A and B are shown apart, each in its own frame.
Chain A
Amino acid sequence: MKVLMFGWEFPPHISGGLGTACYGLVKGMAHHSQDIIFVVPKLWGDEEPLADFVNASDITIDYREKRFKKFWKNLTYLEVSSFLVPYLGPDEFKKYTDYTIHDRTDVDESVFSNKFEFSGKYGKDLMMEVSRYALVAAHISKAKEHDIIHAHDWLSFPAGIAAKEISGKPLIAHVHATEFDRSGESVNQVVYDIERSGMHAADHIVAVSQLTKNIIINKYGVSANKITVLHNAVLDASIIKSSYKKKVPEKIVTFLGRITFQKGPEYFVEAAKKVIERDPNVRFVMAGNGDLLNRMINRVAELRMGTKFHFTGFLKGDDVDHMYAISDVYVMPSVSEPFGISPLEAVRHNTPVIISKQSGVAEVLNNAIKIDFWDIDSMADAIFALLHYDGISRMFKELGTEELKKLKWEHVAEKLVTVYQKTLQQIP
């Protein structure tokens, strides 16, 4: 089967979790000898050759063609100057926009230019890139033969829709996160509309968890039988034996992720206070960056636990592994997490995890303590238990690693192929 896949980013150049998931999936698909044409707005040239990569920035478009004109007319409404950044906090956002502006000074942005240089970033011209991307997609779907179209998240939904209109092939919309996960109830209407139109235009939808499926049903009005849940997996299920040793005598409890509303950092801070009151020989670490960082720092100071609660800023490379390695408990208190891959990374480091019931990963990971994100008493209890009662943490370590081995991208890819086949059968 030949799959025309639209993504937004691909490792090694990623800024969100989407790229990692696409990588795992494409890798899994390669196991099942599926032909994939993977389109991204911008290629850097150092991507692993797992698919037939197409760089949208290289495509020349003939604007005189009638059918494109129609798309352009429909899509230009997206060209609002929006400061919307779906995956990044304000700090990173600034860096990205600075970069984007700098990066693009020599590029002709005229509507009439044939080629368009995408930044592939979540910058301030995001909406314009999304619509341009759709136009390029239409062109590609005409030029490249394929059996089915697969689009990842809202950024590439307009591309998927455009491709479907040109080639008439069925469209799979893959939902990794929704606007409700990112923004709570204060959704960005433009994004919501794109998500919704993508879901309704699709012949079938893949959701990364039951939780996400429910959101799609309840908030986007899609019928349940049009949605299949395919949980994410881990790229590598092996246990990481780190030689990195911690240098403090106290036990370490870690939060690692973007410090934003979606991730529930404030519940971690409040639970930390409760634990420290009972056991002062614990250190808490909040690793990451985001728009709530300063508020968390202030709260830690206000609770007078500044010498027990540490902030590391954004971690990358080895530091991430080191952080997992020296953690005695890993907590992911997300308010809404479509999947959440980081607890699986913690398990790989033999670190017991506490995850919120409001996360997709809770559906696949059995050997973890699951709490409601808002229940700071239960969270404190669980942290205390994992720190002090060796039996339970030992059990989690043993069984957790067994569970990991079942979470392989090959299995996900296999199920995806079945979804493709069923979808194709439905098409008359």
Chain B
Amino acid sequence: MRTICFYFQVHQPYRLKPYRFFDIGEDHHYWDDFSNRSIMRKVAQKCYLPMNALLLELINKYNGAFKVSFSISGTFMDQMQAYAPDVLESFQKLVATGHVELLNETFSHSLASLKSKDEFKDLVYKHQAKIKELFNGYTPKVFRNTELIYSDQIGALVAEMGYDAMLTEGAKHILGWKSPNYVYLNSIEPKLKILLKNFQLSDDIAFRFGNKAWNDYPLTTDKFIDWINAIPNEEETLNLFMDYETFGEHQWAETGIFDFMRHLPEAVFTKTNFGFSTPSEVASKISPVGKIHVPIPISWADEERDLTAWLGNDLQDEAFDRLYDLEKLVNTIDDEEIQRDWRYLQTSDHFYYMCTKFFSDGDIHSYFSPYDSPYDAFINFMNVLSDFMIRLKEKTKTLTEA
């Protein structure tokens, strides 16, 4: 059977508060509790709560024939516990239906896969443990790296860790003439199945849905069904991967995005030969067509679908390298707050704010950034990092003295 696979990324970073040079050495609390809380509450009202309710309704209505999957970052889970227990409860209800799959990622939505195998594994296990704790012992089988970052090497590492499948972007420059609507295999460890995002149809919903300047505006369920039916019959899977905040936050309720989703399953069941599956069902049911070669890491970000949203300019590289210089030292320190801050500082968003690609995707970047400029983001992060380094030094000193 042909199938649609919905996957939603659910993530919020721990944003840094304005941290001044004068605070270094004195103030060890880095997180903007007020804005983190208020953003979480705002998005909960606009997106998480209404969309979770809608999904639960649809899952019940079709007795599990409609299903979705989530990757919920560890920083999101921590913030849910702190600021939005109602959202946590609604996710727990969804998972309890048995028709919602949870994916594994690094706890802090980090870029560790590009830097340190050990740190990467450690963060993945921490994420796994957190999911177990919050979702009644649930153990994910499918892996989704931060922002769909993937390469042959990263895939091989994930396979080695025992996962069956991994999600990534169906980037044009790696697919060439090939279609994203098949299951592929990692080129080093062929036991790992690779699911590719159909970026055309995914982004029609995620980015273009409410854009009145778009030729296909407004996007109705019928129109979307026509596009699904236009997919050649031999292509078996349609992977629709997007930020969960698409629903109600990036695309406001006024655009009709909730109504679109409410009517989509019915239309799919009656007007197409597609059903719905979770990533692990796709990986087990649909036979792979061949290997996919990705020697250089890709992601789902920006036009380039590469890593330049997070790394590559001097600001990002300096911040990233100085942070991971600390990995060994941090591992020797058994201190809960140090370990927590170390995890939160690794969140990819901090590097995303330092992106200077103003002219192509800068709009998107500035929409998501709490800073006026990438330079402000760099200064703030480095001030915090400088304080963090002082704390590490002090902790090491007390350890050696003791």
Contact = CB atoms under 8 A, between A and B. Distances in A.
Interface of A: 246-249, 283, 285, 293-294, 297-298, 300-302, 304, 306-308, 310-313, 319, 322
Contact of B24 (A248, A294, A298): A248
A428 B23 CA distance: 64
A310 B382 contact: yes
Contacts of A246: 25
Given A248-B386, A306-B322, A310-B379, 16 more contacts: A297-B378, A298-B314, A298-B375, A300-B318, A301-B315, A301-B318, A304-B321, A306-B318, A306-B382, A307-B386, A310-B24, A310-B382, A310-B386, A312-B21, A313-B379, A319-B22
A3 B179 CA distance: 85
B384 to A, nearest CB: 10
Contacts of B317: 301
Contacts of B319: 301, 306
A372 to B, nearest CB: 28
Contacts of B22: 247, 312, 319, 322
A216 B108 CA distance: 62
A94 to B, nearest CB: 12
A310 B376 CA distance: 11
Nearest to A247: B25
Contact of B315 (A283, A298, A319, A322): A298
25 contacts: A247-B24, A249-B390, A285-B21, A297-B315, A297-B378, A298-B315, A300-B318, A301-B315, A301-B317, A301-B318, A301-B319, A302-B314, A302-B318, A304-B321, A306-B319, A306-B378, A306-B382, A307-B382, A310-B21, A310-B379, A310-B382, A311-B379, A312-B21, A312-B22, A319-B22
Contacts of A322: 22
Nearest to B394: A249
Contact of B20 (A283, A297, A301, A312): A312
Contacts of A319: 22
A298 B26 CA distance: 27
B386 to A, nearest CB: 5
A297 B21 CA distance: 14
A301 B378 contact: yes
B264 interface: no
Given A248-B390, A298-B314, A310 B383 contact: yes
Contacts of B153: none
A294 B379 contact: no
Nearest 5 Cβ contacts at the A-B interface = A247-B25, A301-B314, A301-B318, A248-B25, A247-B26
Contacts, number: 64
Nearest to A312: B21
The interface residues of chain A, by DSSP majority, are classed as mixed
B389 interface: yes
Contacts of A311: 21, 379
Interface string B1-43: 0000000000000000000111111100000000000000000
A322 B22 CA distance: 9
A302 B23 CA distance: 24
B33 to A, nearest CB: 22
B386 A294 contact: no
A307 B385 contact: yes
B373 interface: yes
A338 B231 CA distance: 73
Contacts of A312: 20-22
Interface in B298-349: 313-315, 317-319, 321-322
A266 to B, nearest CB: 15
Nearest to B315: A301
Interface string B60-81: 0000000000000000000000
Contacts of A313: 379
Contact of B389 (A301, A302, A307): A307
B25 A293 contact: no
Contacts of A304: 318, 321-322
B390 A297 contact: no
A308 B26 CA distance: 16
A297 B26 contact: no
A8 B373 CA distance: 33
Output the residue of A285, A302, A311 with the most chain B CB within 10 A. A311
A283 B23 CA distance: 14
A298 B322 CA distance: 15
Contacts of A300: 318
B25 to A, nearest CB: 3
Nearest to B27: A247
Output the residue of A249, A306, A319 with the most chain B CB within 10 A. A306
B375 A293 contact: yes
Contacts of B378: 297, 301, 306
Contacts of B373: 294
